[in-house]
């Protein structure tokens, strides 16, 4: 069918090219100025639409989906302040190298800087937090072939740029004049010239490809020299760019322990260590091999800052620097999944260095298990139960602030087949519900669990609407300590009443009303037995539940300190 006017032609060509490039999903928030693109997406059967009522939820949902698929997801909104609500998710995507296509509709050029309603400056509005920003040429009544070809190549270039070696968000700003709907405009020429038609074979107008990068001979030699030292440690941070089994085989070949962040993709594999938040990490390594982003653990960050090894090698994709201590001696840009599993002929027997880590790890988890079994229920015990009771092949999204730190301290490594995600690029507490649901959309038939704090849930209650609207069952474990419990870990806690009034910010909210509003089953679990029962029922039912656990932030903090002390005491007795 011939498009009714220039706007519809423009939008249909662009969306068709995105589909040819491989775009599979778009998150759309409603608005008028974006109508041509909305209509084009609605008419394209190759792209799944996720409809959201507000822009922030849409953008974080897109972020979560792209975080899993590692390929671009589009998000679309109308003009004006709607575009600004995309910004937090864009920052997170840029920091975490998550590929997104940001499509914003805009007023036509003559309306800019004119006082026209719902018109703001949207040109390059996201600054350096996107990889590329384009103010798209406005549709014309009788477009030359080269202009149509440029629209096709723009779609291909934008998709490829977002999905490049250094992945991230790309912003395309589309100015449209009325009519925005598919209303016939007889003066518009919507016949496409022969030399601007789409490829007959169904492929994109321009196909982008890249070769596979591997370690250079120089990098291999550096590694060989480094691993001759037996006192080495491998630290895997969030978004570790090398596959888990490859790294585990490599670690085994060189005899180095792996300390795995919960968001590294290795935490719940065999032969990795995770108790470093609780026991003293052996000092004076000769070699540190770091993969991915800065670790979650402050204890581990401090260890990196105080160590002065002969080799401190940082491995990351896309040339992304992640060393806030500035101690790295060698940086390896690994853009593919290639990594040697056997770098040398070293066949090390058990060393004292390795045994220190293994002994500390075993004693730590044995002691934590005993303490949780014998003591009162607290936030760390809730995390232990979540990990232990989660069914195999589940998806777990963990919130920021206190939530991810609980996972880091109480998430015991092992062969637990769960996928763990979180927003640790900018580590904000906004959009976490929506991100979790976006992650769940990539695994529609698997149990989805979100572990989140009360302030974080409050920040993204809008996101709860997508549970029913997009059909994504979820178990939400809400840790409600009535405010910002994480601040009890900071020196500001000594300064009352400012601390309570302006940092803890107690709210007294009853989240059962939120569950009722958004159609979730609600359970308040005040003890371990009731939580275990509610959680097990939820993750096996295929229905959505909000399980609220009310805790006391000060008591929980004290309990965590007691467990650290118990571990330290056990280590003194056994090592």
What's residue 488's pLDDT?
79
CA atoms of 395 and 403, how far apart (whole Å): 16
Q: pTM for the full model?
A: 0.94
Fold type of domain 375-574: Rossmann fold (3.40.50)
Choose among 233, 250, 235, 247: nearest CA to 286: 233
Report phi then psi at 105, rounded to 5: -85, 150
What's residue 463's pLDDT?
97
What's residue 78's pLDDT?
96
Quote the tokens at residue 244. Answer: 């888990």
Strand partners, 448: 395
Indicate the class that CATH gives domain 217-348.
alpha beta
What's residue 504's pLDDT?
82
Quote the tokens at residue 280. Answer: 């003293």
What's residue 345's pLDDT?
67
- Domains in the chain: boundaries: 6-177, 217-348, 375-574
CA atoms of 433 and 428, how far apart (whole Å): 12
Cβ proximity of 52 and 61 under 8 Å:
yes
Rounded mean pLDDT for each run of 10 residues along the chain, 575 residues in total: 92 98 97 97 98 97 98 97 97 97 95 88 96 97 96 97 95 97 94 93 92 83 92 95 91 92 92 93 95 94 94 90 91 80 71 91 94 88 96 96 95 90 94 98 96 96 96 97 82 84 87 97 95 97 96 92 93 83
Sign of CA dihedral 56, 62, 63, 68: positive
Choose among 451, 34, 109, 522: nearest CA to 262: 451
Q: At what angle do helices 379-389 and 402-410 cross, to 10 degrees?
A: 70
CB atoms within 10 A of CB 15: 27
Enter the DSSP assignment of 192: P
Enter the DSSP assignment of 273: B
CA angle, 294 then 442 then 536, to 5°: 85
What's residue 173's pLDDT?
98
What's residue 216's pLDDT?
86
Cβ proximity of 344 and 253 under 8 Å:
yes
Question: Same CATH topology for 217-348 and 375-574?
Answer: yes
Fold type of domain 6-177: Rossmann fold (3.40.50)
């Amino acid at each position: 069918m011939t498009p009714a006017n220039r706007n519809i032609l423009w939008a249909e060509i662009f969306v068709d090219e995105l589909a040819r490039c491989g775009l599979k999903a778009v998150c759309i928030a409603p608005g008028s100025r974006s109508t041509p693109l909305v209509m084009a997406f609605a008419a394209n059967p190759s792209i799944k639409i996720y409809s959201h009522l507000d822009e922030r939820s849409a953008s974080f949902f897109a972020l979560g989906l792209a975080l899993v698929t590692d390929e671009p997801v589009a998000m679309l909104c109308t003009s004006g302040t709607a575009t600004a609500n995309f910004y937090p998710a864009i920052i997170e995507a840029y920091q975490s190298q998550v590929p997104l296509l940001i499509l914003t509709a805009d007023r036509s050029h003559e309306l800019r800087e004119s006082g026209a309603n719902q018109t703001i400056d949207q040109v390059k509005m996201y600054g350096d937090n996107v990889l590329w920003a384009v103010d798209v040429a406005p549709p014309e009544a009788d477009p030359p072939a080269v202009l149509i070809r440029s629209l096709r190549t723009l779609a291909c270039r934008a998709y490829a740029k977002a999905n490049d070696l250094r992945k991230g968000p790309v912003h395309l700003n589309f100015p449209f004049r009325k009519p925005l709907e598919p209303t016939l405009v007889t003066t518009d020429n919507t016949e496409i010239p022969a030399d601007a038609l789409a490829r007959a074979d169904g492929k994109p107008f321009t196909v982008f490809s890249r070769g596979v990068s591997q370690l250079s001979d120089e990098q291999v030699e550096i590694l060989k020299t480094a691993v001759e030292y037996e006192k080495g440690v491998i630290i895997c941070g969030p978004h570790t760019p090398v596959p888990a089994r490859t790294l585990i085989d490599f670690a085994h070949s060189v005899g180095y322990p792996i300390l795995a962040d919960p968001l590294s993709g290795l935490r719940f594999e065999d032969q990795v260590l995770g108790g470093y938040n609780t026991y003293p990490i052996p000092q004076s390594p000769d070699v540190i091999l770091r993969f991915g982003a800065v670790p979650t653990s402050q204890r581990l960050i401090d260890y990196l800052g105080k160590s002065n090894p002969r080799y401190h090698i940082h491995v990351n994709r896309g040339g992304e620097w992640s060393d806030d201590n500035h101690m790295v001696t060698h940086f390896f840009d690994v853009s593919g999944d290639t990594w040697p599993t056997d770098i040398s002929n070293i066949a090390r027997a058990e060393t004292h260095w390795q045994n220190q880590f293994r002994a500390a790890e075993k004693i730590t988890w044995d002691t934590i298990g005993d303490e949780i079994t014998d003591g009162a229920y607290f936030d760390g015990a809730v995390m232990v139960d979540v990990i232990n009771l989660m069914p195999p092949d589940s998806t777990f999204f963990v919130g920021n602030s206190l939530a991810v730190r609980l996972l880091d301290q109480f998430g015991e490594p092992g062969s637990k087949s769960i996928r763990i995600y979180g927003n640790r690029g900018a580590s904000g507490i906004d959009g976490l519900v929506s991100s979790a649901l976006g992650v769940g959309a990539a695994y529609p038939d698997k149990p989805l669990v979100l572990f989140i704090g009360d302030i974080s849930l409050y920040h993204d209650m809008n996101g709860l609407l997508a549970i029913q609207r997009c059909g994504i069952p979820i178990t939400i474990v809400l840790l409600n300590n009535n405010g910002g419990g994480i601040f009890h870990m900071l020196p500001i806690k000594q300064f009352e009443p400012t601390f309570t009034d302006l940092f803890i910010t107690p709210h007294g909210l009853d989240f059962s009303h939120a569950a009722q509003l958004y159609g979730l089953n609600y359970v308040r679990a005040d003890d371990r037995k009731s939580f275990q029962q509610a959680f097990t029922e939820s993750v096996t039912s295929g229905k959505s539940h909000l399980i609220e656990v009310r805790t006391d932030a000060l008591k929980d903090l004290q309990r965590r300190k007691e467990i650290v002390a118990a571990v330290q005491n056990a280590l003194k007795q056994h090592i």
